[in-house]
Chains A and B, each alone.
Chain A
Amino acid sequence: MRATDPELLQTSSVISSARVRPERDLVSTAAPSPRTSPGAAADPFPPARLPEAYRTMLLARATDERCLSLQRQGRIGFYVPLSGQEAAQVGSAAALEPVDWVFPAYRELAVALVRGVPLVAILDQLFANSRDRTKGRQMPNHFGFRDQNFVVASSPIGTQITQAVGAAMAAQRRKDPIVTLAYFGDGATSSNDFHAGMNFAGVYRTPTIFFCQNNGWAISLPRDRQTMSPTLAEKASAYGFRGVVVDGNDLDAVYGAVREARARAIAGDGPTFIEAQVYRFGAHSTSDDPKRYRPEALVEAAKRRDPVRLLRDRLVAAGLLDDARDAQWWEASRAEVAKAVESAEGVAPVDPMSFLDDVFATPTYRLQAERDALEQLVRDGVVKP
């Protein structure tokens, strides 16, 4: 009943400029047949920006490759790969304006790149060096960049969702024509804050975009064990606003959906939930071994629609790219990553006393006393930073 009941599906439209994806059943056995929304092609990804989008995706993919190896070599402590989600991230981020606020989870490296964060600033965070904007406080990938309105990520799942709604409420109060966009995964749709955030956003009609990258897996749990809903997007209808499913490997579909959601939000028409269906090619993180729960054949099948290759083929077909130039761009991306790694690795580590800063604007008496005591232990040679 649940996969085919037309009433259940009525409220969420499916946007895709591509064909029905044959591997979607791998993501969810309950997935509905996509319907193409008439408005889907109205606002395609700007053609002039396609090469730049492709190069950003290459840079993200090259960063993944390199960082997985850095982690295995023990040079960084941890890494969260994003391979498979490049089009969803680049397409959505490119549809935003610099004044908009992004509330990321911890897998949004390509979003940060699109927002204008220099790759080396991300590497600084991965190495937790003294140039890290977050001062070595968090595990790799939990970065944040105020200058790019890219709010610092945390590990708890879904907590950024209500925060994005609150920031949108504040923008409403200030009459600022901006939107907030919360990134989260399929697993987060089970969290407390997903419900609370969606509910508040509906009640106050906030200018918020809920951008769910449904990559099929919440660590080991497949999407169809997360919820009985045929789609995630249809959950929006229960909160009184629009939910759409997009093919997350389709740059045009993602971009168009976010542009439309943004326009509606700015016009006062409230929030939109966008479910971008993608596939997590890699492990959840470097601490995860997907062979324990996921047959490799599923990944191989999903990779037939690798978003990086899809865009490559499109650029080739448009005469904007050939094999030689593609190889050149790959080479340039890997060189850029190598340069950023070299730079970040060469920077001194964080100051050993700096972990005592930023608990409060001004340290309490107790924190000052703890700092004094630690400094004494260092002087006495008991603690060796």
Chain B
Amino acid sequence: MTERTLVQAVNRGLFEAMQADPDVVLLGEDIGVNGGVFRATEGLAQQFGTDRVVDTPLSETGIVGTAIGMALYGLKPVAEIQFLDFIYPAFDQIVSELAKFRYRSGGQYPCHVVIRTPYGGGIKGGLYHSQSSEAYFAHTPGLKVIVPSTPADAKGLLLTAIQDEDPVLFLEPKRIYRSVTGEVPDGDHRVPFGVARLVREGTDASVFAYGAMIPPTVDAAETLAGEGISVEVIDLRSLVPLDEAAVVASVEKTGRAVVVHEAPRTCGFGAEISALLAERAFYSLKAPIARVTGFDTPFPYALENVYLPDAARIAHAIRSTVRSG
């Protein structure tokens, strides 16, 4: 075990994956000598050479398109998109190509690319360095969508992603890159996809969150514990594949559900969780499902603290849910 920040755990995961397998190559903007704008690839170019840590021209469709070609040929490319907000030039390659290669070739051409990208707000990044657009990708058949919230999971899920057989979008909560520290297992530590993490057990309400929304959700749960409300917090961490059994079982136990994400509300991932619970846990529900989300606006620069769900807003929603039934 070694104490690491979340971004250090990502770096360590990349280091170990590259050391273990010469087919693992990294590509992206400013990831080589500069070590990435968030330093996630710090030291890797020096360690493994610039032909394995490839600084690319400034083109996201170029990064993902060439990563696809590498994967078809047999390498294990890990592409970095500098900010999730800049992924859209590669949307066609991700949605039309990467996600569909195995399918459209009848299984002849698996296409295993990992795309790592920092997402989310809270760093004064404005409209174009703050978005949380995981729902677009979770809506695309053929893509796995993973969001760690702890250093141990960042490494463990990343190593699983790199050894997976399918394309993975790996969303890194940049707001807590350095603010969250934790023990990270050394060596080949892998966390399976499709298994939610029970952060905190509780009996009165279940709160489902992921990524950078975990710390304020835990804060809210602690506040409410002082008020006699017992909150169960579940870190989804794997949106696709989703641990549906854990989501349903928790609500069958508590009878109340709150979903938290920083993405806009309409068609956000919370809508999927809400629908799942309406379909499969309806008779266990004692109160309407609540969503605590970002707003249906572009991401505001000066007022991001108003836009983003925080512990107070999350606690308020849980409290209202518990009181309503």
Contacts and interface: CB of A to CB of B under 8 A. Distances in A.
Interface of A: 101, 103, 132-135, 137-138, 142, 144-146, 151-152, 154-156, 159, 161-171, 173-174, 180, 192-193, 195-197, 199-200, 203, 357-362, 364-366
10 contacts: A133-B108, A152-B109, A165-B69, A166-B68, A168-B69, A170-B75, A197-B62, A358-B103, A360-B165, A366-B241
A155 B54 CA distance: 29
Contacts of A138: 104
Given A146-B108, A146-B109, 16 more contacts: A133-B105, A135-B106, A135-B107, A137-B105, A142-B104, A151-B109, A166-B67, A166-B73, A167-B70, A167-B72, A170-B74, A174-B74, A196-B65, A199-B62, A357-B107, A359-B142
Given A133-B108, A170-B74, A365-B194, A359 B141 contact: yes
Interface string B105-118: 11111100000000
Q: How large is the interface on B (under 10, 10 to 19, 20 to 34, 35 or more residues)?
A: 35 or more
B106 A166 contact: no
A128 B67 CA distance: 30
A110 B279 CA distance: 51
B70 A154 contact: no
Interface in B7-31: 25
B6 to A, nearest CB: 26
A166 B165 CA distance: 18
B101 interface: yes
A166 B74 CA distance: 11
B287 to A, nearest CB: 26
A260 to B, nearest CB: 23
A162 B54 CA distance: 15
Contact of B73 (A167, A200, A358, A361): A167
Contact of B65 (A165, A360, A366): A165
A360 B166 contact: yes
Nearest to B100: A154
B93 interface: yes
Contacts of B75: 170, 173
A192 B89 CA distance: 8
B207 interface: no
| Residue with the greatest number of chain A CB neighbours at <10 A, chosen from B59, B69, B104 | B69
Given A137-B104, A165-B65, A166-B70, A361 B165 contact: yes
B244 A156 contact: no
B169 interface: no
Contacts of A173: 25, 51-52, 70, 75
Given A134-B108, A192-B92, A196-B59, A366 B244 contact: yes
Nearest to B22: A173
Contact of B66 (A145, A169, A171, A366): A169
Contact of B240 (A132, A193, A364): A364
B61 interface: yes
| Residue with the greatest number of chain B CB neighbours at <10 A, chosen from A134, A142, A163, A358 | A163
Contacts of B54: 169
A368 to B, nearest CB: 10
A361 B110 contact: yes
Contact of A133 (B25, B56, B106, B165): B106
B83 to A, nearest CB: 18
B244 A101 contact: no
A93 to B, nearest CB: 19
A25 B288 CA distance: 70
B325 interface: no
Nearest to A199: B57
Nearest to A364: B241
A212 to B, nearest CB: 17
